[in-house]
Amino acid sequence: MRDRRLVGSLAVFAALLLVPAAVHDTFLLRVCTEAIMWIGLAVAFDVLAGYTGYLNFGHSAFFGIGGYATAILMARGWGFAPAAAAGGVVAGVGAIVAGLPTLRLRGAYFAIATWALARGVQQLALMMTLTGGPDGIRLPPFLQPRFFYYVMLGVVGATFFLLWFLLERAPFGLKLKAIREDEQGAKALGLDPTRLKIQAFVLSAIPTAVLGGVFAYWVTFIDPASALGDLVSDQALVMVVFGGMGTLIGPVVGAVLIFAFKTVFWAYLSEYEVLYVIILGAAIAASVVFLPDGVLGQLLHRRGPTRPATPAPRPVPAAGKAEG
Amino acid sequence: MELLPQALVDGLMLGAIYIIIAVAFSLVYGVMHVIDFAVGEWIMFGAFMGFHLNRLTGIEPFLLLPAVFVVFAGVGYLLQPVLQRVLSGKRGNPLLMALVFTFGLSLMFRGLAQTFFGFYSLSTPSRLSTGSFFLERGSFFLTVSHVRLAGLAYAAVITGGLQYLLKYTDFGLGVRALAQHKDAAGLMGVNAKRTSGLVYAIYVGISAMTGVLIGTILSVSAKMGPEYTIFAFFVVVLAGMGYLAGVPAAAFLLGIIQSIFLIYLDPGYTLLAVFGVLYLILLVSPTGLFRKGV
C-alpha cells in the first residue's frame, strides 16, 4: 500500500517536471511555483506537528531566516546556491539553539514559546541595520520563471522524498510517533525524546529556510512583514490540519486546496485582506471539529480502512499528565 | 537613575494585571488541560466592550466590569461544549487538536475585531485617570496615577475572590478534585461537564474584565491579543507549570522587564527581551523560577 503511494507520488513529481513545457502563461507558472513552495512548507511543518505532536509557530521565523540569510549573503557577492544552502545551515543551527530549552516545554507551551520566538525575530529584523529594518532588502533580479519553478520543485521534491524515507521507512518516523503518543512511554522504551525532538525540529527548519531563500531570490525583495509575518505559520497550519495531520500526502493535498482557494480569493477579493484571515481561522477551527483526520483521512475512511486503523484512542490523560 | 523607582512601581502595577490573566489561564489548564490561545482575544474583546459601553453610556469603566463579566462568562459557557467535543474526540492527540482549535478561534476573532473595530489604537477614558499621587525625595520622584492603584485593588479583589471560591466552597472543592483526577472526581459526584463549563466561563469573564482595565490603563486595539497571550504564557511557564504560588513573582518580573524597556530602552524590543529571559530561565531551570513546576 505504501509502495503504491510512493509510486503515485513519484508519478506526480514526474508530471510536475513537465509542467513548464505545457504552461506558457507566466502568471500560471508563477501560481504553480508558489503552490509547490507551499507544499514544501506544509510538509516540513507536519514533521513537527503531525509526526511529533508539537506545533511550531516559529515556522515563519525559519522561513524568514533563510530568506534574510540568502539576501544578505548575495548582497555580499555570494552565488545563489551557496547562499541558500548557508541559509539552511543557519536555520538548522538556530533550530538546535532555540529547541534546546523550548522543546523541554510540553506541547502547548512549546507552541506559544515558538510564537514568541517568531515575533521576537520579526522585531529584530525590523530594528537591525543588517536586515534593512522595515524597508527590507532587495536582491539582484533574476527573471527566469522556469528556473525558479525547477529550483522550487527540486527542493520540495528532495524534501518530500527524504522525509518519506525517514518518516515512513526508517525507524525515525516510528520513534517520533512514539513521542507523540506518549512521551514518558517513549522514554521508558529507551528513546531519548529531547534528542529526537531536536532532530525533528532541525529536519523541519532546514527545508523551510532553503525555501525561504529561494522565495527571496524569486520575488527579489524581502521585508519583515512578508517573510517573517504570521501568515507563513498560520497558512502552513491550516494546510496541514485541513489536509490531514501526521501523513505526508495530507499536507500536500491541503496545500494544493488551500492555495487554490487563496489564489482565487486574492484574484477577486483582494481588498478584503482581513476576511481572508477570518476564513483561515474559521477553516482551522472547523476542520478540527468536523474533519479531525483532514480531507485525506475523510476520503480514506469513506472507502473503508485501507491502512491499519489509527491507534486506539488513548484514555483521557489523568491530572498532571499532559500530552506527549 | 532618577526614573528607576518609577520603572519598578509601574512594573509592579502591570504585574498585578498579569497575575489575574495568568491565574485564570492556569485555572482552565488545571481543569481542562487546555491552553487557550485565544486568551489575548478575550482580553481584546472585553476591552472593546468596555470602550464602546463607556462611549455610549458614559458610565465609569470600573462600574462596567460586572456587566462585561456576565456577558463574557455567558459566551464562555456556551463555547465550552464545543471545546469539550474536540477534547473528547476519538483521535490520537486531542490536546493538540484543542490547541489548534483555539488557535483557529484566535485568528478568526482577531480578523473579526479588525473588521468591526478598525485598526486604530484607542483608550477608554476614566475619571480616575486624571488624578495621581506625586512623591519626591531628592532627585527621585514617583507618579502613581489613581487608575493604576484602582487596577491594583481590582487585582487584589479578584485574586482574593478566586482564592475563596477555590478553597472554601463546594464548587471550588469540585474544581480542585477535577484538576487532580478527572475520573475519580466524577465517581465522587462532581459533575465534570458543568464544572468545566463554569470554570471556562469564569476564565473568559475574568479575562474580558481584565481587558477593560487594560483598556483604561494602557490601550485597546484589534491587534493587542497576541501580546497578552504571550505574556500569560510567559508568567505561567516562569512560575513553573502548575505551581500557582509562583505566579505573582513571575508576573511582577514580567511587569518590571516591560516597564524598564519602556523607560530606558526601545519598547520595540520588549517581546525579544521576554523571549530572551524565558529562554535563559528554561535553559537553567526547566521547571520555572522556583523549580517547583512539573
**A157 confidence band (pLDDT: 50, 70, 90):** very high
- Residue B291 in any domain: the answer is no
Spatial separation of the C-alpha atoms in residues B99 and B135, rounded to whole Å? 47
List the beta bridge partners of residue B220. Answer: B122
Handedness of CA B260, B264, B267, B270 (dihedral sign): negative
Least Cα distance to B252 among B270, B239, B265 occurs for B239
- The pLDDT, as a whole number, for residue A2 is 58
The DSSP symbol for A309 reads P
Least Cα distance to B172 among B205, B207, B198 occurs for B198
Phi then psi for residue B223, to 5 deg, are: -100, 15
**B1 confidence band (pLDDT: 50, 70, 90):** low
Number of independent structural domains in chain B: 1
A319 contacts on B by Cβ (under 8 Å): 30, 178-182
Spatial separation of the C-alpha atoms in residues B68 and B211, rounded to whole Å? 10
The lowest-confidence range among A145-154, A269-278, B188-197 is: A269-278
Spatial separation of the C-alpha atoms in residues A304 and A301, rounded to whole Å? 5
- Residue B180 in any domain: the answer is yes
- Residue A12 in any domain: the answer is no
Number of independent structural domains in chain A: 1
- Residue B151 in any domain: the answer is yes
List the beta bridge partners of residue B133. Answer: B144
User: By CA distance, what is A117's nearest residue in B?
Assistant: B275
The DSSP symbol for A134 reads G
**Which of B30, B95, B269 is opposite residue A127, by nearest beta carbon?**
B269
**A205 confidence band (pLDDT: 50, 70, 90):** very high
- Residue A139 in any domain: the answer is yes
Spatial separation of the C-alpha atoms in residues B21 and B25, rounded to whole Å? 6
In order of B15, B62, B126, B146, B171, the CA distances from B131 in angstroms are 21, 15, 10, 6, 40
Query: If you average pLDDT over residues B28-53, what whole number do you get?
Result: 89
A117 contacts on B by Cβ (under 8 Å): 275
- Residue A281 in any domain: the answer is no
3 state DSSP class of B60: coil
Task: Pull the grid cell for residue B89.
Answer: 474526540
- pLDDT tens, position by position, B4-22: 778 888 888 888 889 999 9
**Residue environment code for A204-229, b if the CB has 16+ CB neighbours within 10 A, otherwise e:** bbbbbbbbbbbbbbbbebbbbebbbb
- pLDDT tens, position by position, A82-115: 988 999 999 999 999 888 888 877 767 788 788 8
Q: Is residue B138 pLDDT above 80, yes or no?
A: no
- Residue A115 in any domain: the answer is yes
Q: Domain of B196?
A: 15-224
**A319 confidence band (pLDDT: 50, 70, 90):** very low
**Which of B93, B105, B115 is opposite residue A53, by nearest beta carbon?**
B93
List the beta bridge partners of residue B134. Answer: B143
- pLDDT tens, position by position, A61-81: 999 999 999 999 988 888 888
Residue contacts between A and B (CB atoms, under 8 Å): 170
- The pLDDT, as a whole number, for residue B87 is 82
Which residues have a Cβ under 8 Å from the Cβ of A318 and sit 6 or more positions away? B181, B182, B183
- Residue B269 in any domain: the answer is no
- Residue B19 in any domain: the answer is yes
- Residue B209 in any domain: the answer is yes
pTM of the model: 0.85
- The pLDDT, as a whole number, for residue A304 is 47
- pLDDT tens, position by position, A267-293: 887 777 788 888 888 988 888 888 877
**Contact of B115 with B108, CB cutoff 8 Å:** no
Least Cα distance to B79 among B36, B110, B33, B27 occurs for B36
Query: If you average pLDDT over residues B102-111, what whole number do you get?
Result: 91
- Residue B89 in any domain: the answer is yes
**Which of B180, B242, B282 is opposite residue A101, by nearest beta carbon?**
B282
Query: Is B99 close to A55, i.e. CB distance below 8 A?
Result: yes
Spatial separation of the C-alpha atoms in residues B176 and B182, rounded to whole Å? 10
- Residue A274 in any domain: the answer is no
Query: If you average pLDDT over residues B229-249, what whole number do you get?
Result: 82
B78 in contact with chain A, both atoms CB, cutoff 8 A: no
Min distance B136 CA to chain A CA atoms (Å): 36
Q: Domain of A88?
A: 28-229
- Residue B272 in any domain: the answer is no
